[in-house]
Amino acid sequence: MAKGYQATKERQESIGFLGKNLGKRAGFKCEWCEGKEDLKPWDYRPAREPALENLALLCGNCRELADGRKGSVEELRPIRNALWSDVPAVAEGAARVLAQCKEGWVREAIEDSFIDDGVKAEILKR
Ligand SMILES: [Zn+2]
């Protein structure tokens, strides 16, 4: 069996295991937009060992945004509140998605957030 497959499978299992706690933390709604459609864990740091702080429970739409689909301002606005989360996957992940929107409120919101300064600088550099 390919090593990559086994690693992926183990990874999926540990994410599944963390999923219960993740659901509780999230209150069973999307941690970005509070939607309830198609909620699944999203992995902020897929190269690292799965950890609760690197996972966010996201709805289908927010997962698409997280994976690089460009969102409209209307879609991005509800995500703004996620910047206040103390969970890196939630706050930093949201900031990265929001930063593609060039409106002034986005930059301001990211600057006002409690995200680590180094990460903030990296996200805001254009
Ligand atoms: Zn969502």
pLDDT in tens, 40-72: 999 999 999 999 999 999 999 999 999 999 999
Ligand 1: centre distance to CA 36 (Å): 7
Residue type, 69: R
Ligand 1: centre distance to CA 3 (Å): 33
Kindly indicate the confidence band of residue 95, based on its pLDDT and cuts at 50, 70 and 90.
Answer: very high
Q: pTM for the whole thing?
A: 0.89
CA 20 to centroid of chain Cα atoms: 17
**Three-class SS of residue 44?**
coil
Contact 74, 67 (CB under 8 A): no
Helix axes 117-124, 88-98, angle to 10 degrees: 20
pLDDT given at position 96 = 95
Ligand 1: centre distance to CA 62 (Å): 4
Q: How far apart are CA 34 and CA 40, in angstroms?
A: 13
Ligand 1: centre distance to CA 108 (Å): 21
Helix axes 104-112, 88-98, angle to 10 degrees: 160
Q: Which residues pair with 58 in a beta bridge?
A: 40
6-10: average pLDDT: 86
Contact 31, 59 (CB under 8 A): no
